[in-house]
Amino acid sequence: MAIIEVTSLEQEGVEVYGTLTEAQLRNRLEPDKGIFIAESPKVINVALDAGYEPLSLLCERRHITGDAAGIIERCGDIPVYTGERDLLASLTGYTLTRGVLCAMRRPTPPNVEEVCRDAHRIVVIDAVTDTTNIGAIFRSAAALGIDAVLLTPTACDPLNRRAVRVSMGSVFLVPWTWIEGEVTPSLNALGFQTAAMALSDDSITLDDPILKQIPRLALIMGTEGDGLAHNVITAANHVVRIPMQHGVDSLNVAAAAAVAFWELRKTKD
């Protein structure tokens, strides 16, 4: 390993941890050169277990023989940037969680057909831009048996640093990709029925038996502010609501996703 002391915020090699924006890290123009940041030893280990390629590490000096030791050993001959806690916080703009960050190669997203090939229960995240919600939805998806996640282009990037951290690395466990165009026709062509989560006069409740009988089901979740667009709702095969009490009209999208994932999980034959 190459231990490199960070003495300046402008030092070559550490720009990925501070000066580059999330959009620059993602590199839309050249996706094969994209990078993302994984934070904390637990999350980094999950990414490494899933086969993601590490490019460099940034950690506090005391963690080189502490929390980061196992990570450093696994990553082989990559640069390990280190320095005092306050300097690294100035570089990144936040205090490092457990003192370790890892820059990793962003993989080329698979196509929708590949992600959905063996799936029975999937979720489509439409225009949800809050990183905390994205991370929480992925964590619930991994825990509650969702086979794949599709995101519309207006949704937040799952490999955003905060989304990855909130998911506790679950973004590395569930297959996911981007879906463009009209969701329901695209998924109907792959053998899925769609269920749009929305408040509508013609909606059915989440516990309606018809939903559990559907062999391949795609839940469509929208932002809690504006909800799903009218054309997305009308195109869906089903419109579904979660029954509420005490005059509450809806749940946070991440909470609603967890409830829906549990209720509509695919039971084993």
3-state SS string for the chain: CEEEECCCCCCCCCHHHCCCCHHHHHCCCCHHHCEEEEECHHHHHHHHHCCCCEEEEEEEHHHCCCCCHHHHHHHCCCEEEEECHHHHHHHHCCCCHHHEEEEEECCCCCCHHHHHCCCCEEEEEECCCCHHHHHHHHHHHHHCCCCEEEECCCCCCCCCHHHHHHCCCHHHCCCEEECCCCHHHHHHCCCCEEEEECCCCCCEECCCHHHHCCCCEEEEEECCCCCCCHHHHHHCCEEEECCCCCCCCCCCHHHHHHHHHHHCCCCCC
Burial track 74-97 (b if 16+ CB lie within 10 A, e otherwise): ebeeebbbbbeeeebeebbeeebe
Low-confidence ranges of the chain (pLDDT < 50): 29, 269
Burial of 138: CB neighbours in 10 Å, binned 0-12, 13-18, 19+:
buried
- What's the CA gap between 111 and 94, in Å, rounded? 35
Per-residue model confidence (pLDDT) at position 95: 61
Per-residue model confidence (pLDDT) at position 48: 97
The CA–CA distances, whole Å, from 59 to 71, 86, 101, 223 equal 11, 12, 6, 35
The string of pLDDT tens digits covering residues 192-214 is 999 999 988 789 999 999 999 99
Per-residue model confidence (pLDDT) at position 63: 81
The string of pLDDT tens digits covering residues 11-65 is 788 888 876 667 667 765 455 678 999 988 999 999 999 999 999 998 888 888 8
Per-residue model confidence (pLDDT) at position 3: 86
Per-residue model confidence (pLDDT) at position 223: 86
Per-residue model confidence (pLDDT) at position 32: 66
Per-residue model confidence (pLDDT) at position 94: 63
Burial of 113: CB neighbours in 10 Å, binned 0-12, 13-18, 19+:
exposed
- What's the CA gap between 26 and 28, in Å, rounded? 6
Structure tokens at 172: 């590395």
Per-residue model confidence (pLDDT) at position 29: 47
